[in-house]
Structure 1
Amino acid sequence: MSWIFDTMQAWIRQKERLVKDPALKERLQCDVQPLDDGLSSILWVGNRHKARKIVLYLHGGGFQMPSIAGHFECVWNSYVLSGVESETEVAVAFLQYSLAPIWRAPVQLRQAAAALSEILDAGFGAKDIVVGGDSAGGNLTVQLLHHLIEPHAEVARIVLQEPLSAAFLISPWLGMDTSAASFRENDLYDMISMDILRSLAIVIPPGGDGTSIDEKGPDSWAEPLECKGPWLNKLGSAVGKIYITVGDREILADQGKLMAKTVTAMQTGVEVTLESNPKAAHDFLVVEGLFGHIGEETIKMKQWFKSALKKAN
């Protein structure tokens, strides 16, 4: 995983050249916290030793691709700087999880749960923690919330004394069903296509239920839209609010919208915010980070996150 550390270090060096404020530079340290499995680590963006609030970030890439510089820029702009502007110290626990196809489900869920446990063990309360991610990271976020409610048999249990403050899903990939209209309408225009999505089926089975591709049914943890069940009715016991952002020009748009509609209709007690950008394609928030641009998607995320911080304080 040395390329991930190299990516982070290169991003930090670039930021150090651009950032003039000494107080901001103190938040640009290469702070790596290995997890107990010896395979995964938390890459800290911001100062975890001074932080009052933590964002556990789970990156996208179909569970097969490592994080990119755009991810680090995205979390810096959206969460660390939002904390500075809100006078609340925020650090991002950026999980470096093991990649498929070598490591397959539920390994990534196990590592996400381990990262959350480390944050809790460090003394942060659930109300001080926000969890979220983009694309496959959005998928892993929902898996983690599922685990908090209905523990996965192969993952260490986590008992919360109260719900997590919030969660966010950025262009989430939530299942293998490609029948929704957004798949047909955007297949030729989005950065990911139905063919690419179908090729990712290998990273799911054997999934959380241990089934093969042919046997996979509605209990597959890595397909949250097909794995609703009674756990979703109890979502309010795991998280207080959820922010879902999609682009109307991405193939996954209808999955994110369906998740928002489902959680709202089930009256889970969770405050749901859905943002749908008619001009955006897949993962535009991270794309803005890749180009070093605080654009429309980043501004909307900052507004929501600042609101979440205000309510949590």
Structure 2
Amino acid sequence: MEHKLGIWERIDIWLGWVSVGKPTLSAAILGPVRGRSGADSYHHHVIQATVKKLTSRFSPLQLQYIFKSYDQLYLEYCENTGVKPNLVSNERGLKGFWIGSPTAKYVVINFHGGGFAMDATEPYLEFWPSVARALSDENISTGWFNVAYTLTPHATYPTQFCEAVEALRYVVEDLGRSPSEIILVGDSAGANMCLALLSHLSHPSEDAPALKISAPLKAVVLLSPWLSFRQDWPSMKLNEHRDIDDQKVLERWKQEYLHGRSTNYYVEALEAPQTWWQDAQVQHTLVLAGGAEMLLDSIEAWSKKFSKMKSETTLIVGRNECHIAPLIWPLFADKHETEQGLALKAWLIDRLRM
């Protein structure tokens, strides 16, 4: 069901910008004396404070009104780069678009983050194409299918889960691609969807259409995965003022996604027992996290559990980097290469050369 933004909610956006400006100004003034509990740099301190207030002050509908949709960004990207748009939709609810050729050596299915409530932003169409270019420079061709799944409150679990299953089915069955040529990529909530899909392949859920694949996927890449809804991890407190995430926002977005349903292993991957991952249908797994992000402890805990079942698992933690640093910092004009971004490119080049 599509929800519309009311007139008063639109007026409230203008009032909201005033409240966003206050903590941003405060962070700018107090940034030089932030101490060790703050971000690693003055610029990052201001960025983190701004993002926290943006996501806490505005509702998902308001955020979707403020920022352009993924489709809009893609059409602008195509116009700016001279690429012919290749949008995909079907009667099963799939929506997405291609960057690169569906017949490339490898197909990457990319699920964006945003707490299931926000669309991707401009840096997604800068960072991920830069990864594709780095691979191309090594004679590794990739076609990227970017899934434009339904956001909350327009739909709730398991709609997004079903759309993730349909994305893989489309690539495997409609395009006839071998699973050994497919890579799943996701950040934050998008990484949550990657693991829901991976769970579904070995433990079919009644919440989504059945899907069987003939061989393990080539790889899964998880950037700052949202794996647990618990808020008692030490890193949640330790990195509270160093990260873009906000505990109340995470709780609200979780509630809106579940919409009264109980959690399960397809929603919280960390809650699954270690043996759950024994038959995970993937050859190689990369997990990326920021050393300054609130989700760090849960990411490390899941990686430890998963790697005991799947030895071809790599965890890389970017020093002093926040949640999805390669994607959020460029939104605020910080375009320097992150440790996570560099490690991701090197890891993919190494695995895809094999």
Same fold flag (TM > 0.5)? yes
Question: Counterpart in 1 of 2:164?
Answer: 112
User: 3-state DSSP class of the match of 1:280?
Assistant: coil
Question: Counterpart in 2 of 1:41?
Answer: 95
Distance 1:162 1:230 in 2: 20
Which stretch has the larger CA shift, 149-158 or 282-291? 282-291
For the structure 1 residues 293 and 76, does the alpha-carbon distance in structure 2 shift closer, same or farther, using more than 3 Å as the test?
Answer: farther
Contact 1:288 1:295 in 2 (8 A): no
Contact 1:35 1:42 in 2 (8 A): no
| Pair 1:247 & 2:247 matched | no
| Pair 1:261 & 2:304 matched | yes
> How many residues get paired?
285
Distance 1:52 1:29 in 2: 20
Q: Deviations along 1:64-96, whole A, 9 cap, x unmatched?
A: 111111112121111x21331121220111000
For the structure 1 residues 89 and 167, does the alpha-carbon distance in structure 2 shift closer, same or farther, using more than 3 Å as the test?
Answer: same
- State the Cα distance separating 1:221 from its structure 2 match: 2.2
Contact 1:35 1:115 in 2 (8 A): no
| Pair 1:30 & 2:85 matched | yes
Distance 2:351 2:304 in 1: 21
Contact 2:192 2:267 in 1 (8 A): yes
| Residue identity in the other structure for 1:224 | A
- State the Cα distance separating 1:288 from its structure 2 match: 5.3
Distance 2:211 2:122 in 1: 31
- State the Cα distance separating 1:102 from its structure 2 match: 2.2
- State the Cα distance separating 1:296 from its structure 2 match: 3.2
Q: What's the C-alpha RMSD, in Å, of the aligned pairs? A: 2.0
Contact 1:60 1:137 in 2 (8 A): yes
Question: Counterpart in 2 of 1:55?
Answer: 108
| Residue identity in the other structure for 2:182 | I
Contact 1:64 1:101 in 2 (8 A): yes
Question: Counterpart in 2 of 1:171?
Answer: 224
Say which of 233, 247, 252 aligns to 2:278: 233
Distance 1:52 1:82 in 2: 15
Q: Deviations along 1:269-298, whole A, 9 cap, x unmatched?
A: 341111111210010121355455544332
Distance 1:57 1:223 in 2: 19
Distance 1:161 1:143 in 2: 19
TM-score normalised over the length of structure 1: 0.85
Question: Counterpart in 1 of 2:207?
Answer: 154
- State the Cα distance separating 1:107 from its structure 2 match: 0.7
Distance 1:304 1:30 in 2: 29
Question: Counterpart in 2 of 1:19?
Answer: none
Q: Which protein is richer in helix relative to its size?
A: 2
Question: Counterpart in 2 of 1:76?
Answer: 129
Give the gaps of 5 or more residues in structure 2. 1-63
Question: Counterpart in 2 of 1:22?
Answer: none
User: 3-state DSSP class of the match of 1:246?
Assistant: strand
| Residue identity in the other structure for 2:301 | L
Distance 2:274 2:340 in 1: 32
Bigger radius of gyration among the two: 2
Contact 1:74 1:288 in 2 (8 A): no
| Residue identity in the other structure for 2:70 | I
- State the Cα distance separating 1:165 from its structure 2 match: 0.5
Query: Percent same amino acid among aligned pairs?
Result: 23
Contact 2:179 2:217 in 1 (8 A): yes
Distance 1:288 1:240 in 2: 31
- State the Cα distance separating 1:153 from its structure 2 match: 0.9
Contact 2:274 2:305 in 1 (8 A): no
Distance 1:45 1:130 in 2: 14
Question: Counterpart in 1 of 2:240?
Answer: 187
Contact 1:33 1:41 in 2 (8 A): yes
TM-score normalised over the length of structure 2: 0.76
Q: Deviations along 1:120-144, whole A, 9 cap, x unmatched?
A: 1212101100002001011111101
Q: Deviations along 1:91-116, whole A, 9 cap, x unmatched?
A: 11100000112211111111111111
- State the Cα distance separating 1:190 from its structure 2 match: 1.0
Distance 2:148 2:230 in 1: 28
For the structure 1 residues 191 and 269, does the alpha-carbon distance in structure 2 shift closer, same or farther, using more than 3 Å as the test?
Answer: closer
Contact 2:69 2:120 in 1 (8 A): no
Question: Counterpart in 2 of 1:10?
Answer: 76
